[in-house]
């Protein structure tokens, strides 16, 4: 989970992270260490599990630069997170700008970077096609013009265009119906393989975690700390049939057992 080796190429590091909201009288997170190694030409899919209130979303907010810990360092590719190096994040709540079209939403980061309109729209359309939204690019990014699954595709496309290397996702499929959720899981695994991204994904769904991840970390709370690391030794290419595989079913049971054990710490 953590390595002080200065020669180690790491894409994300959280060092000695502690969080208090009352001047140090109570710590909701204390001395947390978290390391995601850089794996070129491969990427990683890391899933974070934990009981409600264990700090899963807070951890993502640190990496995204949306919150600073009381103590400790947050490094992305060896550099402190700041305004010049923010990481995009996909939330459970739909985060698109409803007064703008799908195309405008997806190309937003490039607009802020000063990329010319024709170039940013061309690049945005490539991602829009990839996530299955071609034909919807001129619709406003709001319900009911788009379904819940389509709105999450907009958010994923926007994040990918902003930074395909790292994608943070905070329970992005939690509000979706089961059919749409399964479709989005497969879309995400395809994106991971195509871009070889490092994806940090928070969920409460253990079966989803095992299906998507190549590494699972479990947080305990009071104070929050990573206490379990479970490598998921399944083939990288996964499909619906993977969920019938005895190895997959065994891993789901193992993660369930460890989650229960952590909840009792």
Q: Which domain holds residue 51?
A: 1-87+170-265
User: Do 44 and 134 sit in the same domain of this protein?
Assistant: no
| pLDDT value, residue 94 | 67
User: Do 146 and 228 sit in the same domain of this protein?
Assistant: no
User: Do 258 and 180 sit in the same domain of this protein?
Assistant: yes
Task: Name the pTM for this structure.
Answer: 0.90
User: Do 142 and 37 sit in the same domain of this protein?
Assistant: no
Question: Are 227 and 219 within 8 A, CB to CB?
Answer: yes
User: Do 26 and 137 sit in the same domain of this protein?
Assistant: no
User: Do 77 and 183 sit in the same domain of this protein?
Assistant: yes
Q: Which of 162, 191, 212 is the last residue of a domain?
A: 162
- CATH number assigned to the domain comprising residue 13: 3.40.50.300
| pLDDT value, residue 49 | 96
User: Do 237 and 107 sit in the same domain of this protein?
Assistant: no
| pLDDT value, residue 237 | 87
Task: Compute mean pLDDT per 10 residues along the chain, 265 residues long, and list them.
Answer: 51 94 90 91 92 91 93 92 74 81 91 88 92 93 89 90 89 88 91 90 95 95 92 91 95 96 86
User: Do 63 and 189 sit in the same domain of this protein?
Assistant: yes
| pLDDT value, residue 4 | 43
Diameter of the chain measured on Cα atoms: 56
User: Do 219 and 113 sit in the same domain of this protein?
Assistant: no
User: Do 57 and 80 sit in the same domain of this protein?
Assistant: yes
User: Do 83 and 174 sit in the same domain of this protein?
Assistant: yes
User: Do 68 and 138 sit in the same domain of this protein?
Assistant: no
Per-residue HEC secondary structure of the chain comes to: CCCCCCCCCEEEEEEEEEECCCCCCCCCEEEEEEEEECCCCCCEEEEEEECCCCCHHHHHHHHHCCCCCCEEEEEECCEECCCCCCCCEECCCCCCCCCCEHHHHHCHHHHHCCCCHHHHHHHHHHHHHHCCCCCCCCCECCCCCCCHHHHHHHHHHHHHHHCCCEEEEECCCCCCCHHHHHHHHHHHHHHHHHHCCEEEEECCCHHHHHHHCCEEEEEECCCEEEEEEEECCCCCCCCHHHHHCHHHHHHHHHHHHHHHHHHCC
Domain count, the chain: 2
Sheet holding 225-231, edge to edge: 89-90, 166-170, 198-202, 44-50, 215-220, 225-231
């Amino acid at each position: 989970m953590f390595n002080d080796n200065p020669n180690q190429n790491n894409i994300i590091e959280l060092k000695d992270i502690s969080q208090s909201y009352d001047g140090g009288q109570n710590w909701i997170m204390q001395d947390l260490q978290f390391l995601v190694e850089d794996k070129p030409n491969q990427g990683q899919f890391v899933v974070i599990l934990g009981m409600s209130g264990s700090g899963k979303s807070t951890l993502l907010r640190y990496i995204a630069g949306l919150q600073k810990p009381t103590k400790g360092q947050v490094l992305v590719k060896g550099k402190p997170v700041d305004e010049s190096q923010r990481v995009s994040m996909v939330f459970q709540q739909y985060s698109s700008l409803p007064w703008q079209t799908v195309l405008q939403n997806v190309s937003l980061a490039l607009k802020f970077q000063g990329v010319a309109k024709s170039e940013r729209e061309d690049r945005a359309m490539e991602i829009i096609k990839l996530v299955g939204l071609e034909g919807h690019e001129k619709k406003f990014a709001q319900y009911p013009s788009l379904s819940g699954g389509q709105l999450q595709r907009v958010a994923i496309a926007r994040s990918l265009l902003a930074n395909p290397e790292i994608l943070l996702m905070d329970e992005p499929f939690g509000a979706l119906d089961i059919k749409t959720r399964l479709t989005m899981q497969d879309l995400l695994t395809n994106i991971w393989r195509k871009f070889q991204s490092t994806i940090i994904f928070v969920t409460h769904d253990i079966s989803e975690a095992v299906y998507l991840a190549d590494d699972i970390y479990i947080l305990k709370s009071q104070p929050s700390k990573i206490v379990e690391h479970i490598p998921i030794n399944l083939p990288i290419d996964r499909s619906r049939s993977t969920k019938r595989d005895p190895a997959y079913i065994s891993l789901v049971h193992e993660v369930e057992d460890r989650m229960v054990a952590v909840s009792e710490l």
